[in-house]
Amino acid sequence: MLVEYLQTSLRHAHYEILEGDKSFYGEIPGFQGVYANASTLEECREQLKEVLEEWVLFRIYKNLPLPQIDGIEIKIRTAA
């Protein structure tokens, strides 16, 4: 379920070339703070993937909600 969530989230990523230095910027709408910037599109995609993974793990660790995406919802439950 987690892999599917990550893959689906990355399919919603938007990339653009920044005017000033011609680097690539990527973000995922609805995932505040998940963004990357790199000199090539492939590097930007890889960085965005890493940032997303760390962001999801952090939110799970802090028991914070994750956005639902394309009907996929990950709920965090505490264990006794």
Cβ proximity of 44 and 25 under 8 Å: yes
Q: What is the CATH number of the domain that holds 43?
A: 3.30.160.250
Q: Which percentage of the chain shows pLDDT scores above 90?
A: 91
pLDDT tens-digit readout, 26-37? 999 999 999 999
Residues 6+ apart with CB under 8 A from 37: 18, 23, 24, 25, 26, 44, 47
| In-domain check, residue 14 | yes
| In-domain check, residue 6 | yes
Largest CA distance in the chain: 52
CA pair distance 71, 5, nearest whole angstrom: 10
| In-domain check, residue 11 | yes
* Domain boundaries, position 55: 2-61
Total structural domains in the chain? 1
| In-domain check, residue 7 | yes
pLDDT tens-digit readout, 44-71? 999 999 999 999 999 999 999 999 999 9
| Burial of 64 (C-beta count, 10 Å sphere; 0-12/13-18/19+) | exposed
pTM: 0.91
Res 80 pLDDT > 70: no
